[in-house]
Amino acid sequence: MDAHVTESAGTPDGPEGDGSESSSEHGRRRHWLRWGALGASVVVLAAAGAGWMLYQKLEGNITTDTGTAAELKRYEAERPAALVHDAENILLIGSDSRADKNAEYGRDSGTQRSDTAILLHLAADRKSATAVSIPRDLMTDVPRCRKPGGQESQARFAQFNSAFEQGGAACTIRTVENLTGIRIDHHMIVDFTGFKRMVNAVHGVEVCLKEPIKDEEAHLELPAGQQRLNGEQALGYVRARYSLGNGSDTERMGRQQQFLGALVKKVQSNGVLLNPTRLYPVLDAATSSLTTDSGLDSLRELYELVRSLRGIPTEKVQFLTVPRRPYSLNANRDELVQPDAAQLFNLLRNDLGVTVSAEPREAEAEGTAPPDNEPEAMGRDRKPDAAEPSGEPTGQAPTYKGTTAANGMCA
């Protein structure tokens, strides 16, 4: 009997051995089930709360540029129309402001210029993306723009990057639209700190240097050979000018394009876009120093943009500089090479394919002078042959000097 009692006590069966549960055991089970459910709920709510906090933090990082939209609306009648539905043109502006956290890169003069300007064209089918650098020293027509104080400046023939100093992003957008005939749908402004954080978020980018670099102005000193650049080093590398190559801004833009291509390739190859744990620091870095229009100022809108791009093959992410040559009145300034530039703008405006190659065209490589039947000078009385706002491209488009994200910097 004792053995039987001991065995029964160790089973869930009741005293009668019929499978029923004692009231005390049943109570204990219900007690633990209640606590287990409560604990699981706390974990779920905590995770949801943490997720919401992270979302709010990223959302709060973005600065919305409402003033630019108001200014563009003021000049709407002068702006070109969009020709292709679903194609998008985004102007990326790199600010050279030395204020606040960027003070270490030079004296703050109270003004800022667009140190880098890239027109990013996203094809309507999202099967290609083309990024076109616009030289900061390009001589072009800057339209009349409202200054921060409210006064309106006069239209003038001037350096491209003076538009940002004169009238901010709105003036820069309208200058690009006048130059290209392409409607700008969105814009983003990124400062030095934002660029550094992006590079650090992907744990650096590989570069190969044929010669060592020492550039005090760019805060950069690197040995020759293959190495991984962190954010601070990468910023110095893309800003360096006088210590590398021939010291031209065109050569610096080429390095910027190669570096951005390598950055895109690393983000795609590392699966960052599909891994939330790895994606968060990239998003935090990308949004922390980002100013954008109201059409891209939320995580949802940025996510939709990124999602539409992640399927583009790296060989279809192209980088090039608008065809340029030394300005005839000042070799330190640039002017457009025609008809190459007009053909490029027509291709982008009509959402047609652009072909790039590492091999330079003769006119770009040599910086040839204008033909004999053209005036030597390009001043206020003679503007570059601007692309028309509409119409089909004419003639055979050239292959433009450029690179793609598929080309590594250490190939």
CATH of the domain at 235: 3.40.630.190
Q: What is the mean predicted confidence (pLDDT) over 131-139? A: 94
pLDDT of residue 246: 56
Instruction: Pick left, alpha or beta for residue 271 (phi over 0 → left; psi -120 to 50 → alpha; otherwise beta).
Output: left
pLDDT value at position 281?
82
Q: How far apart are CA 314 and CA 318, in angstroms?
A: 8
Mean per-residue pLDDT for 244-257? 74
- Residue 109, pLDDT > 70, answer no
Please indicate, yes or no, if residue 171 is contained in any of the structural domains: yes
Classify residue 175: in a domain, yes or no. Answer: yes
In the three-class reduction of DSSP (H, G, I as helix; E, B as strand; rest coil), residue 299 is classed as: helix
Residues 410, 262: Cα–Cα separation, whole Å: 10
Mean pLDDT of 325-348: 94
Range 243-270 average pLDDT: 77
| 54 within a domain of the structure (yes/no) | no
13 has a pLDDT exceeding 60:
no
Token pair in block for residue 371: 């033909």
> Residue 33 falls within a domain, yes or no?
no
Rounded to 5 degrees, φ, ψ at 255 are -65, -40
Tally of structural domains, the chain = 1
Average pLDDT, the chain: 77
- 161 inside domain: yes
Amino acid occupying residue 172: T
> Using an 8 Å Cβ cutoff, are 112 and 97 in contact?
yes
Q: What is the pLDDT of residue 81?
A: 96
pLDDT at position 252, please? 81
Does the pLDDT value for residue 46 go beyond 80? Answer: no
Which domain covers residue 275, as residue numbers?
62-404
Other CB atoms within 10 Å distance of the CB of residue 273: 17
Q: Which two tokens stand for residue 256?
A: 């910027």
Query: For the stretch 190-206, what's the b/e string if a residue is b when 16 or more beta carbons lie within 10 angstroms of its beta carbon?
Result: bbbbbbbbbbbbbebbe
Lowest mean pLDDT among 200-204, 276-280, 336-340: 276-280
For residue 366, give the nearest of 406, 401, 409, 408 by alpha carbon. Answer: 401
pLDDT greater than 50 at residue 209: yes
In terms of Cα–Cα distance, which of 395, 131, 397, 119 is closest to 263? 131
Question: Among 312-321, 355-364, 376-385, whose mean pLDDT is lowest?
Answer: 376-385
Residue 313, domain member (yes or no): yes
Residue range 256-271: mean pLDDT, rounded? 81
Phi-psi region of 133 (alpha: psi -120 to 50; beta: other; left: phi over 0): beta
Residues contacting 277, CB < 8 A, separation 6+: none
**pLDDT the model gives residue 99:** 46
Distance, in Å, from the CA atom of 38 to the CA atom of 167, rounded to the nearest integer, reads 58
| Predicted model pTM | 0.76
Nearest-angstrom CA–CA distance, 93 and 263: 17
Residue at token pair 């005839």? 328
Note whether residue 9 is domain-resident. Answer: no
Highest mean pLDDT among 11-25, 110-124, 139-153, 357-371: 139-153
Alpha carbon distance 162, 172 (integer Å)? 8
CA distance 138 to 135: 5
**173 is written with which tokens?**
């957008």
Instruction: Specify if 337 maps to a domain.
Output: yes
Structure tokens at 379: 């001043």
- Report the sign of the C-alpha dihedral through residues 255, 339, 172, 90, in that order: negative
By C-alpha distance, which of 58, 250, 69, 73 is closest to 169? 69
- Tracing tokens 């008809």 back to the chain, one arrives at 339
